[in-house]
Chains A and B, each alone.
Chain A
């Protein structure tokens, strides 16, 4: 069965520090997708990125970057020059299928990031 592990339960940094959130996954699928979501205090999950298993190129979007390493089954997320607005719970998720064949996401337990001014 698919599994996502986010070993860091909580991280606290000072503004402008760089921070990396770890994500390790387990799957037997040969083709799969990985996702990151942000959950600010308001509660709504905000989609950040989708990456398929065939694309191991790192991706950068502004202060955000993602490092996908198939060899270690990891999909880590780095925030450069963190800001207070980055404070949120971040979830890593992995594609899976229900018994009925429909798509579903398997989520890690999340990492709570607090950026202090």
Chain B
């Protein structure tokens, strides 16, 4: 069966510090991968998505970047965190085929920027 991991689970970082959040998927090949952010009291906003190694697309302009160095690894980064980067970050994956498939989410990382 497929599983998705995220770490760390929680993170408290000062403004201006770098960030690296990691997401890995097991039990599937060539998945679509996604990074979402959930701000307090709001729905989920898609930040980045990837359809393959090295292929990253951004949905919204922001202070963050993403990379996919391996088929089942997705990394969210920042060189200098802002207060507005605080939130709950969720990684998700979906099957790549002709049908529109549901996305499966990881446990999330709660980031607080102070």
Chain A residues within 8 Å of B, Cβ to Cβ: 4, 33, 35, 37, 42-47, 50, 52, 91, 95, 98-100, 102-105, 107-110
Contact = CB atoms under 8 A, between A and B. Distances in A.
A43 B110 contact: yes
A107 B100 CA distance: 16
Given A91-B43, A91-B44, A47 B108 contact: no
A23 to B, nearest CB: 12
Interface in B65-94: 88, 90, 92, 94
Q: Is the interface of A mostly helix, strand, loop or mixed?
A: strand
Contact of B43 (A42, A50, A104, A109): A109
B42 A109 contact: yes
Given A43-B108, A43-B110, A50 B102 contact: yes
Given A43-B108, A107-B44, 5 more contacts: A37-B105, A95-B100, A98-B57, A102-B49, A104-B46
Given A45-B105, A47-B102, A91-B43, A102 B51 contact: yes
Chain B, interface size category, equals: 20 to 34
Nearest to B44: A107
Q: Is the interface of B mostly helix, strand, loop or mixed?
A: strand
A108 B38 CA distance: 11
Contact of B105 (A33, A44, A103): A44
Nearest to B57: A100
Interface of B: 32, 34, 41-46, 49, 51, 57, 59, 88, 90, 92, 94, 100-108, 110
B88 A103 contact: no
A95 B46 CA distance: 12
B3 to A, nearest CB: 12
Contacts of B92: 45
Identify the interface centre among A102, A109, A110: most chain B CB within 10 Å of its CB. A102
